[in-house]
Copies of this chain bind each other. A is one copy, B any other.
């Protein structure tokens, strides 16, 4: 987006190029391993200059992790959309369906991406870092939902983070099962494990 909120022709072109670059990068990473592929490799494979590639993705990692961009906002919005009388856990669990949906739409793609991320320390670290920022965002959404104009309570922060962790564990197990297990069931089990015992 360029300054104004208006979406111009250029923005569409940019998005298309971005998607194309991400696609090329992803395939190279899968084939040769993330660390083996240099920025020069990526640039020449995509037919652009190194500079251009770095303008689209500030980082090699971002070429992969850009796929997750904005998920936090989507989940937070979903959370705010839940009925006010719903308890935090139920609201969080439902809000996470927003994320799950993408895994059900394109299981193979999701599986490949997840594998690449978990197998690559650099990607894994960056992903954790970004996801770490979701916690406060979700906690704030919980606070908003509760109507209080105050910052999130310790309890809300804990629950938001724990819910995210449930998501991660569920995805881990799902990935380990080659996508055969049902992600919804796994997520429900994960949430249940918090209350249980």
Contacts and interface: CB of A to CB of B under 8 A. Distances in A.
Interface of A: 87-89, 121, 124-126, 128-129, 132, 154-159, 161-162, 165-166, 168-170, 172-173, 186, 189-190, 192-197
Tell me the dominant secondary structure on chain A's binding face: helix
A190 B158 contact: yes
Contact of A186 (B87, B154, B194): B154
A17 B129 CA distance: 31
By Cβ-Cβ distance, the 8 closest A-B pairs, closest first, are A155-B193, A125-B129, A158-B193, A161-B165, A162-B162, A128-B128, A157-B169, A158-B190
Contact of A88 (B168, B186, B197): B197
B157 A89 contact: no
B89 A197 contact: yes
A121 B128 contact: no
A173 B151 CA distance: 12
A6 B129 CA distance: 38
A197 B87 contact: yes
A43 B110 CA distance: 44
Contacts of A186: 154
Contacts of A157: 169, 172
Given A125-B126, A154-B173, A155-B189, 4 more contacts: A88-B197, A158-B193, A162-B166, A195-B195
Contacts of A132: 124, 128
A194 to B, nearest CB: 6
A24 to B, nearest CB: 26
